[in-house]
C-alpha cells in the first residue's frame, strides 16, 4: 500500500528556519514525482512545487520560487520542504503528495499534512 | 498565474445531479487536457477523483465524471449522497512546468 507519512506539527517563530519531511513507502520512490501543496487556514489548495527523486529535478510555482526549497533523499525515500526564514504568513497545513502515472500534473496519494504555525 | 475560477458554493438534494465549473484560459484548462479534480471532506485530506479531464482512479465511484469545453472544465456528480458534502478543487497544468488550482467549491447536500 502506498503511504506518505509526514513529520509532526511545528510551532516556530518568525525568522526561524524549518525543514519538514515526508517518508514514502509502498512504491518505487525514484519513479514518481513528489509534490508539496499548501493550504492556509480556511483557504484553498496551492501548488508549491515538485521534485523527481531519481535525479532531483525540481520545479517550483513562481509564487514559491525562492521562498522554499524542495529536496529528497532517495536512500531513505524521504522528501523535504524547508524554509530559511519563516514569516507569520507561512502558517498553514502543508501536504506531501505523489504524482500520478509518472507525471506531476495530478496527485494520486496525499500525506496526512503537517501543520506549521509561525507566531511570536 | 491566477487561480482557476470556481463557484464558491453549490448545493443539491440527495439523488440529484450537480455540476461544478472550473474556468481558466487557453494557457491552462484550454491548452492541455490535464485537468484534475479533488474532493476534500471536512477535516480530511484531499482525494483525487478525476485526472486527465475525465479519467477516474481505481475505487472512485462512477457517479463522478469530468468534461471540458474550451477554457472551462466541469465536474458532474450524479446521484448525490450525503457523503459527497465537502470542498472540491480543480487543478490544471499551466505550462512552464507548473500547475495551478482553482479556489475551491463548497458542496452542500440539502
pLDDT, tens digit (0-9, with 9 covering 90-100), for B8-58: 999 999 999 999 999 999 999 999 999 999 999 999 999 999 999 999 999
pLDDT at B89 over 90: yes
**A65 at B interface, C-beta within 8 A:** no
Q: How far is B17 from chain A (nearest CA, A)?
A: 24
Residue A27 CB contacts under 8 Å (≥ 6 apart), including other chains: A2, A98
Cell readout for B102 is 482553482
**A64 at B interface, C-beta within 8 A:** no
Q: Give contacts of A107 with chain B, Cβ < 8 Å.
A: 36, 38, 46, 48
pLDDT at A117 over 90: yes
What is the C-alpha end-to-end distance of chain A, expressed in Å? 40
> In this predicted model, what pLDDT tens digit does every residue of A46-74 receive, in sequence order?
999 999 999 999 999 999 999 999 999 99
Nearest residue to B67 via CA among B85, B86, B49, B52: B52
Per-chain mean pLDDT for chain B: 96
pLDDT at B1 over 80: no
Position A101 scores a pLDDT of 84
How does residue A102 score in pLDDT terms, banded at 50, 70 and 90? confident
Across the interface, whether the CB atoms of A108 and B51 are under 8 A apart is answered yes
pLDDT at A94 over 90: yes
Percent of chain A with pLDDT strictly greater than 90: 98
Amino acid at each position: 500500500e502506498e503511504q506518505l507519512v509526514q513529520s509532526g506539527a511545528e510551532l516556530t517563530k518568525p525568522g526561524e528556519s524549518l525543514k519538514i519531511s515526508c517518508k514514502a513507502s509502498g512504491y518505487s520512490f525514484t519513479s514518481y514525482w513528489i509534490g508539496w501543496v499548501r493550504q492556509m487556514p480556511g483557504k484553498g489548495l496551492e501548488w508549491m512545487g515538485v521534485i523527481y527523486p531519481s535525479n532531483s529535478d525540481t520545479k517550483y510555482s513562481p509564487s514559491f520560487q525562492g521562498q522554499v526549497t524542495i529536496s529528497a533523499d532517495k536512500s531513505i525515500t524521504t522528501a523535504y520542504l524547508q524554509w530559511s526564514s519563516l514569516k507569520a504568513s507561512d502558517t498553514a497545513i502543508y501536504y506531501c503528495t505523489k504524482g500520478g502515472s509518472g507525471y506531476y500534473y495530478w496527485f494520486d496519494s496525499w500525506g496526512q499534512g503537517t501543520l506549521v504555525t509561525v507566531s511570536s | 498565474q491566477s487561480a482557476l475560477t470556481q463557484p464558491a458554493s453549490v448545493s443539491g438534494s440527495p439523488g440529484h445531479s450537480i455540476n461544478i465549473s472550473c474556468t481558466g484560459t487557453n494557457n491552462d484548462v484550454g491548452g492541455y487536457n490535464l485537468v484534475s479534480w479533488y474532493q476534500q471532506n471536512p477535516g480530511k485530506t484531499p482525494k483525487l477523483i478525476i485526472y486527465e479531464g475525465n479519467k477516474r482512479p481505481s475505487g472512485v465511484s462512477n457517479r463522478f465524471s469530468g468534461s471540458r469545453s474550451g477554457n472551462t472544465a466541469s465536474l458532474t456528480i450524479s446521484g448525490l449522497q450525503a457523503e459527497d458534502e465537502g470542498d472540491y478543487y480543480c487543478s490544471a497544468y499551466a505550462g512552464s512546468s507548473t500547475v495551478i488550482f482553482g479556489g475551491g467549491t463548497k458542496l452542500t447536500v440539502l
